[in-house]
Structure 1
C-alpha cells in the first residue's frame, strides 16, 4: 500500500520530465539497503545437503504462465492476432509437460519446483483451490480500483494512491488481529467469516458506485474498503497456515515457495482476466465496468467462504502460542 502512495508521488512529481518512469528506480535504493542490511544482520547459514535447481521444470512452468497470461492481457487490446491463439493452444501442452517432468524428477530422488507428492496433500490441494482465486480477486481489485479512481473520477495518480488508504489501514489492523483470531477460533471459520466480509465490502462499493456515479467522492468508498481490507488480511494469514498444514518439515521451504508461486500467479491472472473484463466494458462506462468487476469478485469470495469449511480443522489449544492440528 505504501507503494501505491510512493508511486503516485513519483509520477506526480515528474522528476526531470521522466513522467512515470521513476517508479522503477525506487527499487534501486531499496535493493542497496537490503543488500547492506543482509550482510550486517542476517546470520550466515548453509545447508549440508543443498538442493539443486529444477531448471527444466522451472522453465516449463514459466512458459506455461507466459503462454496463458500474455495473450489474455494483450489479446483484447490488439484484436486477438493469430499468435495469441497459438500461445493459448500451447498452454495445455506446456502444462502437461511440466507435470511429466516434475513427476520424473521426484521419482529420481530430486526435489522439483512443484513436487507432485505435495500437491496430492489434502491441505495443499484444497488450500491452493482457494488461494489462487483469492489472489486473483486481490490483483484484479487493485487494478480496477486504480483505473476507476484515476480515469473515471479523474483523481490523478496521487489521488488513486490516497483513495486506497482506508483499505491499507484496515489490512494492517487485520494482520495484527489475525494471530489472536487463529488462536481463539477454528481457522476454517475465520476464513469463511473474513471472506464474507470481503464480499460485503465489495458489495458496499457496488452500492456506492450505483447510487452516486459519476459524482462519486472517492472517500465515499472508505467504509467498503475498510471492510474488504480487514477481511483480506484475515483470509491471507489463515490460508498460509491451512495450506502448509500437512507439509513434511523437510519440505516446508518448497511448500512455502509453492504458496508464493500460486500467490504471484493469481495476482497476474487477476489483472489478465478480470482486469481485461473491466477494460473491455469501459466503453459502456467506467462505473458500469467497475460494478461488474466487483460483482464477479464478490461472487468468488463467497465461493471461497463456502469452500473454506471443507478444509481440515486447525485451532490452537488453550495456553499455546502456536497452533495444533486436529484433522
Structure 2
C-alpha cells in the first residue's frame, strides 16, 4: 500500500543551488501542478502562518574504540546534558559499564543496552563542552541513501537550514533546506506570518516500517518545544482566517502533538512519538510543505494521511515521470489537507 519503486537516479546527492531554485509540486483536489519553490508566496495568502522548525543539526556520528574494537555511535535522543540514546554499530558486544573512547580526552560510558542496536551512553562532559567536542570529533549523520551516509565539508552548510538556531537534531528538517533570505523576504512582502518551533529530529526518522500492521511499529521519541508566544501567534492567525502551513513533517508532528481536540495549539515542551497514518484526524495544520519521502516510511504514511493515499500515489508517479529529485536534498511539494480521507 505504501510501497513504490524509485529509480536510483532520482535520489538527489546534492541540493539545488541556490536552495530556492528547487522544483515544487503543488498537490490539491484539482490535481497536481508543476511549480517552483520560488512560487511559494503566490500559493499562500496574506494572513497565513508558516511554522518552521528551527532545530540545528549537530555532528552526531562518532567513531570510537571499546578497548581495541571499533564502535560507531549515531546519537538520536538527548536524555540530559551529558546523556544520549544512540544507535551503535556493532552493538552486540557492548555491555553496561563499557567505556568508548573517541579521543584521548573524550569518552562515554554505556549505561543501558536496548533493542535493535540502541544504547544509552553518558559522556564525560555535558552542555556546551559536549557540543564543542562533537564539533571537533563528530560527523554529520547524512541519511544512508545519500553517498552512503558519508558527509563532507560542503554538507556542513548544505545540511543546515538558514534559520537553524537550537542545537540538538541529528537529521535536518529537510523542507526547510529550500529557504533563502530572499524567499523569506518575499513571504514577508506577501503578508505571510512566520513562527518558529523546535523539534530535534532523530535518526529514527530514516527507519523503514518493517511490520505488516502499522500498530506494531515503534516510533522513536523526539524532543519538541512550542513556546507560549508561538502557540499564541498560530492560534491568532487561524482565528483571523489564516491557514497554518507546516514547513516539514517535523513541524506538523509537533503541532499535532501540541494541539487539543479543539484545534488550539498549546505551549509544549516534551518528547513526542506521534505516528500519523491514514485515518488520523488533523487538528492544527491546513497545508504541508515537504520533500519526497522513502517508500514504506512513516513519512510517506504521514503525507498519505494528510493529502490522501490515492492522491499521493498519483503525485509521486507524476513526480517520478517528470524527473523530480527525491529525499533530503531533493525537490519539494506543497499539499492541501484532504479532509475526505480523515475519520
Please report the TM-score for the alignment, with normalisation by the length of structure 1.
0.21
Please report the TM-score for the alignment, with normalisation by the length of structure 2.
0.20
Larger relative helix fraction: 1
Larger relative strand fraction: 2
Which of these two proteins has the greater Rg computed from alpha carbons? 1
